[in-house]
Amino acid sequence: MRQKPGNVQPYLQHWHMFLEHCADMGHANMIQAAMPKMAYSGCPPNNRTFKILFKAMFNSGATLNDFTRAFDTIEQYTFWYDKDVANMLYSGFVKLNRLSQAKQIKKEFNQRFRNRAIKESPRLLEWEEDLALEVERHGLVSAIDLCKVLQKSGYNIHHRTLSILLRRSHHISDLEFAKTSLDLQASPSHWSIIITNAIRAGDLATALSSYAHFRSTGLPLSAPLLQPLISALCASAFRDNDDKPIDHALELYDELARAFPSSSPNAALHRDDPGFMRERSTGPDAYMYGTLLRAMGTSVDVQKYSGVAVSLLAEMEARAIPLQSPIILSSLIVIAMRCSSGVDEALEAYRRLARRHNAPRITARCYQWILNTLSQLNFGEDGSPPSIWHYFEIVKDMRLSGQAVTPAIYAQLLKRLAQLAPDAPEDMKHSLAACVRRVHDHLTLDPTITPDTLLWNQLMDSYQRVGLFAEAYRVWEILLVSENFDHASVSIILDACGFANAWPLAQRVYSRLTERSFLLNQGNWDAYVECMCRVGKLNNAVKLVCLEMGKDQKDVAPHKDTIRLLLTFATRSNQQDEVLSRIQRYLPDLWEELPAELGEFVIKPEHIMTTSQ
């Protein structure tokens, strides 16, 4: 919703409308998956959310153990003991004729949550929901006015009130106004809301400025307050291909580490959870170390951070934080591989870390990152093809660990081979061609994988880029016969025909698509026009552009880039004037849109970019 026109920020009512639908359909897992997203979006789950979850669980036939695990999830959020929820759970099992389990679940629920009973007015939940809705609909000022009205009915303003009022604020001015209006003191958690909201709004500069103001208050630091800043800085480093934000993130980490030395009893809080910890410590924790190490793994100058990574590992050990996060392990593997002097050393670094005793289980996404890093390693000035043998040794480990080897694992290696081909010397191009063939062999012999269209497209494109047109065309025929091709497939094979000077086959591609009533998109038409130009059929291409392209599809009519393409090839035979004349005659509307200085359309042939590129 935030990414669509209007940039609507969904509030709790929107979430509950969606979750009610999920409950009716019995999609309890989807509701549980939505909860952390709700919290991240500024709409943390409340009692009503959990009632919807339990409704969904009954509709999906959940077991007693499923409900017990759901209680573990609820404990992470603000949940007030509600006798109605206890009765709802009891009644649900009674209706299923499971009386003993009904008594058991009610007893478990009461033991877990009775200490969270509301000691204030029983209308507290209702009042707080009204305040949250007022903030969402009418903003902070209106919500503060409502707060004062509710006070007259018995509502006591407290720490959580300020959190509710600030749920959409990302400026210090809102915090100061709310504090003054309600005569409340702000805690680090309130500053964390302001900082986190600014980051969600894409305003990292304001978040950093707010943090600077926070430091001047003398309030204590904590990991939940600094983590959003560190995560945002690390994301910025990756997005902008710049290491400076990583350095800034490390400075923030150092501030927290100094505030909570490793000898401090509050320095760390850890669980036996092998993934990122959801319970946050006040000092540096596994989640923060994982964020920093992952950023170092993707840094521009990885050598610069190799020593820092080692020191962070020592810090983790001093804080008794076990190395049980797959993100941390895969980050260390990637850093070690990128700091290696050769591909054999890189593989040995992987073996040493991934296969050590008690190493955490690497996830599918982490394996994909490790494999992509291996395929990108370059140890010579002229580059070299990725080692297929090394790559598939890690793929074998991935399969043995129980992770599914997806088409993306093959596609990313093929993509890398295709990227190396255009500028490769002739002998290396032969090596790349052999690599593509070996990847295809592995794919053919792998019984656990069913290639999708994206993978077939990448294989076809890689074949054509390394100069193996016949193999590329065979892949196209597989796609055509199985009816698994898409618009990208069409552009790739037309490009391949053009570069291979295979005009009869290009005509065959076009005719077989016509037989299937397949509508070409803009990229397909441009690829066909370029193919004609490359095989010396410039007149045919001009005729196609002037009389056929966009005839029955207005969204694929010729455009400026189409004319640029024609003129690029027309300059080779000094036919640009003739081409322009025909454009002016048959496409007068497009002619009017062309720049006055047509010379800018006449570019050197070697600068042309193919459609698929």
pLDDT of residue 271: 37
Using alpha carbons, list the distances in angstroms from residue 490 to 415, 525, 535, 550, 565.
18, 10, 17, 17, 18
Which amino acid is located at 604 in the chain? Answer: K
pLDDT of residue 487: 96
Buried b (16+ CB within 10 A) or exposed e, 267-276: bbbbeeeebb
Q: What gap in Å lies between CA 22 and CA 11, rounded to an integer?
A: 17
Residues of the chain with pLDDT under 50: 265-279, 597, 599, 601-613
Using alpha carbons, list the distances in angstroms from residue 508 to 511, 513, 533, 543, 553.
5, 9, 17, 19, 22
Using alpha carbons, list the distances in angstroms from residue 272 to 278, 287, 361.
11, 13, 14
- Contact of 126 with 118, CB cutoff 8 Å: no
Q: What gap in Å lies between CA 533 and CA 549, rounded to an integer?
A: 15
Q: Which residues contact 10 (CB under 8 A, 6 or more apart)?
A: 1, 2, 41, 43
pLDDT of residue 391: 96
- The pTM is what? 0.80
Three-state SS letters, 192-234: HHHHHHHHHCCCHHHHHHHHHHHHHHCCCCCHHHHHHHHHHHH
pLDDT of residue 548: 87
- Contact of 142 with 126, CB cutoff 8 Å: no
Distance from the Cα of residue 461 to its chain's centroid? 25
Q: Which residues sit opposite 117 in a β-bridge?
A: 81
Q: What gap in Å lies between CA 319 and CA 270, rounded to an integer?
A: 10
Q: What gap in Å lies between CA 276 and CA 294, rounded to an integer?
A: 13
First to last CA, the chain: 32
Q: Tabulate helix, strand, coil % of the chain (nearest 5).
A: 70, 0, 30
Q: What gap in Å lies between CA 70 and CA 91, rounded to an integer?
A: 17
Residue ranges with strand state E in 21-147: none
- Contact of 379 with 366, CB cutoff 8 Å: no
